[in-house]
Amino acid sequence: MTKKMHVALLFGGNSSEHDVSKRSAHNIYDAMDKDKYEVSLFLMTKEGYILSDKDSHRVFDGEDEDAVVESVLPNVDQSDPLANIANLGKIKDVDVFFPVIHGNLGEDGTIQGLFRLLQKPWVGSGILESAMAYDKDITKKMLDLYGVQNTKYVLLTPDNYKDHPYEQLAAELGSKIFLKPANQGSSVGIHEANNAEEFKAGLADAFRYDYKVLAEQAIEGPEELEISILGNEKPIASKLGAIRVPKNDKFYTYENKFVDASEVHFDIPVKVSQKLTDQITNMALTAYKALGLKGMARIDFLVSKDEEPYLGEINTLPGFTNISLYPQLWNASGISYTELIDKLIDLAFKEFDRRKQIHHDFTPLGKEKLSK
C-alpha cells in the first residue's frame, strides 16, 4: 500500500481575513483526495498562536474559536519565546505545508521564512517574492520596470503626507483619488476621496493599517477583470472572469467579497475581445515572472471605458471560499478543484527540489555527525 502524503494545512492568522482563511481551508480540505493525502490542521489564532492539530480540528468542526483558545492558553508556557509555533514541532513527518493564511503573516513572506527554516516544501511563492507582491508600492515599482501598465500613484507616509495636500494630488492624479494601505489585502482600509475632507478622513483610516499609503489614480468607468495563474518557471493562465458589483458600491469591497456577495455577479468566463484577453494574459504572465512568483496567484485588472487594461493587484495566496475566483476560473478553464490542489502540491515539491540544488541549507542537527 502506497504511503499517503502528509500535508499540513495552515489557516487563520492575525489579519482581517482570519475568518475568510478558515472558509478557504475548509474548501481545500474537502477537495483533497483523502486516499492520497493525510491532512493535519494548524489554526493560527488572531493572536498569532498556532494550535495543535487536535485543537485546530475542534475549531474546524464547529467549536467556538475563542473558547478553544481560552481552554488551551493556560497550559502554554508563556515564557517560551517559541511557544507560538511549538505545535508545529510535534508533527515530525510533514511532507509539505499548504498555507492558506491570507494577508498579514501569510502572504508577506513571514510564514514562508518559517517553512524555509524547517526545510520543508510549501505551496506558493518564496519569502522575497511574497513580500514584494504583498507590498503594493514595491509591486508597482516592479511593474513599471517591466513595462506592465498600472495606475499612477503617489506614496504617502507619516513623514511626507503634509507635503502632498489633496489639491496638489488632484492636479496630478485627478479629482477622484483612491487611498490604499500598501501592505493590506481584500479592500481593507481603502477609501475613495473626491474632496479634501474625504481625503483627510480616508488617509487617517488608511494609516491605521500601514505606514505607507498609496494615493492612486482612479480609472474612468472601470470594469474589474480577474485572471488566475498557475505554475513556477513556466506558468499558465486561466480564462478571464469579471466582477459586477452593486451599483451603489464604489468598488469591490470587503463586504462584497466575504460577507454578503448576494448582489455581486460573476461572469466566468467573461466575453471580451480577443485583443483585450491577450493583453491581460500577457501582462499577468509578465508580472508573475517579473516578481518571481511560484505556485499560484490571482491577478486583478481594471479596464477603462476605452478598453485600456491596468494591473491592479496581485494575490499570492488567493481565497478558496465558495465564491472565490481563483478556483472558479480554473474550473472554467478545465481544471477541477481537486486537480488544482494536486497541481499546487506538485509545484511545491518541484520548487523545493530546485532550491535545494542552488542553496546550501542548514544540515539537520546531528545528521552530519552520524554520517561520519
Residue 3: CB atoms within 10 Å: 8
Residue 203: per-residue pLDDT: 97
Q: How confident is the model at residue 308 (pLDDT cuts 50, 70, 90)?
A: very high
Residue 370: per-residue pLDDT: 44
- Could you give the CA distance from residue 175 to residue 156 in angstroms, rounded to a whole number? 17
* Lateral strand order in the sheet of 96-99: 37-44, 5-12, 96-99
- Tell me the average pLDDT across 150-168: 97
- Do 172 and 159 touch, CB atoms closer than 8 A? no
What is the residue-averaged pLDDT of the chain?
90
| CATH of the domain spanning 223-356 | 3.30.470.20
- Tell me the average pLDDT across 233-243: 96
Across 64-73, 87-96, 305-314, least confident range: 87-96
Residue 236: per-residue pLDDT: 98
Q: How confident is the model at residue 369 (pLDDT cuts 50, 70, 90)?
A: very low
Residue 14: per-residue pLDDT: 87
Residue 66: per-residue pLDDT: 95
Residue 112: per-residue pLDDT: 97
- Tell me the average pLDDT across 80-87: 90
Dihedral pair phi/psi, residue 109, rounded to 5°? 95, -10
- Could you give the CA distance from residue 181 to residue 167 in angstroms, rounded to a whole number? 20
Across 11-20, 165-174, 286-295, least confident range: 11-20
Domain 5-122 architecture: 3-Layer(aba) Sandwich (3.40)
> CB neighbours of 318 closer than 8 A, spacing ≥ 6?
228, 296, 297, 298, 324, 325, 326
- Could you give the CA distance from residue 340 to residue 111 in angstroms, rounded to a whole number? 22
Residue 359: per-residue pLDDT: 66
Domain 152-217 architecture: 2-Layer Sandwich (3.30)
Cα dihedral 81/117/96/360 (nearest 10): -170
Q: How confident is the model at residue 371 (pLDDT cuts 50, 70, 90)?
A: very low
- Tell me the average pLDDT across 71-76: 89
Q: Above 80 in pLDDT, residue 48? A: yes
Residue 248: per-residue pLDDT: 54
CATH 3.30.1490.20 range(s) for the chain read 152-217
- Could you give the CA distance from residue 137 to residue 230 in angstroms, rounded to a whole number? 24
- Could you give the CA distance from residue 316 to residue 124 in angstroms, rounded to a whole number? 7
Q: How confident is the model at residue 258 (pLDDT cuts 50, 70, 90)?
A: very low
- Tell me the average pLDDT across 10-20: 91
CATH 3.30.470.20 range(s) for the chain read 223-356
Please state, for a pLDDT cut of 70, what percent of the chain lies above it. Answer: 91
Dihedral pair phi/psi, residue 323, rounded to 5°? -110, 10
Q: Above 70 in pLDDT, residue 108? A: yes
Per residue in 174-226, pLDDT tens? 999 999 999 986 577 899 999 999 999 999 999 999 999 999 999 988 899 99
- Tell me the average pLDDT across 258-262: 50
Q: Above 70 in pLDDT, residue 256? A: no
Q: Which long-range contacts (CB under 8 A, 24 or more apart) does 276-284 make?
A: 276/303, 276/307, 276/309, 277/240, 279/309, 280/225, 280/227, 280/240, 280/309, 281/227, 281/237, 281/240, 283/148, 283/149, 283/309, 283/311, 284/227, 284/229, 284/237, 284/311
Record the cell numbers describing residue 129, joined without a space. 517574492
Q: Tell me the CA end-to-end span of the chain in Å, nearest whole number.
A: 34
- Could you give the CA distance from residue 350 to residue 353 in angstroms, rounded to a whole number? 5
**269 cis-preceded (ω within 30 degrees of 0):** yes
Q: Above 60 in pLDDT, residue 260? A: no
Q: How confident is the model at residue 265 (pLDDT cuts 50, 70, 90)?
A: confident
> CB neighbours of 257 closer than 8 A, spacing ≥ 6?
20, 186, 187, 319, 323
CA distances for 25 relative to 66, 88, 260, 277, 320, angstroms: 18, 17, 19, 31, 7
Residue 263: per-residue pLDDT: 64
Please state, for a pLDDT cut of 90, what percent of the chain lies above it. Answer: 77
